[in-house]
Structure 1
């Protein structure tokens, strides 16, 4: 089953990682100053899954990747770098399919 893992960095910031059922990382969030804001980011990621919420990008090394954005266009999460545009598109589909049903696991406690 897919899950959002809530983590805390050594500087006290929080972030989440969306993992697919097979354990692969799909998205990694930006950092948040509070756990409450991090959890709001997770909830936003769960509902902002329309095509328009994904921005298709290419790195300076020409690797395809994407970001998921909220309704206000703020970046919620960034994908890994993919080996092909086809693999990137599968990653986007994985977010759309997994995010709404993913459980939240708090690893900060």
Structure 2
């Protein structure tokens, strides 16, 4: 299976996407967008920013789990990872986004 962005409509009618690695695991999830075109723009922003120095920020949640966010050059969060047990696994998630972001196709489930 190839890596893919899955574009979907939420139950409230808004749109969101997730980037799935080649093994099907979700490595990045977006915020909700009111318009489908905005969600597609978000995918393009992931593609453009995934290789930019300083685009990823590793964080620790209140429960001690690790995660990361991907930010655009203006500082706006484009996507967030799942929670990981440790920092090394979160860093592996960052590497996966970098590996798949540019070439992943789009599955439009809307």
TM-score tier, shorter chain, comes to over 0.9
1:33 and 2:6 aligned: no
Q: Give unpaired runs (5+ residues) of structure 1.
A: none
- Aligned Cα root-mean-square deviation (Å): 0.7
Per-residue deviation, residues 1-33 of structure 1 (Å, max 9, x unmatched): 110000001111000010000000001100000
Q: Distance in 2 between matches of 1:51 and 1:88?
A: 17
Name the structure 1 match of 2:56.
54
Name the structure 2 match of 1:67.
69
Higher helix share: 1
Q: Give unpaired runs (5+ residues) of structure 2.
A: none
Q: TM-score, normalised by structure 2?
A: 0.96
Per-residue deviation, residues 28-56 of structure 1 (Å, max 9, x unmatched): 10000000000000000011012311011
Equivalent pairs counted in the alignment come to 108
Q: Distance in 2 between matches of 1:81 and 1:12?
A: 26
Q: Distance in 1 between matches of 2:93 and 2:53?
A: 13
Q: Distance in 2 between matches of 1:100 and 1:92?
A: 13
Q: Distance in 2 between matches of 1:71 and 1:96?
A: 16
Indicate the larger mover: 49-58 or 88-97: 49-58
Q: Distance in 1 between matches of 2:93 and 2:10?
A: 26
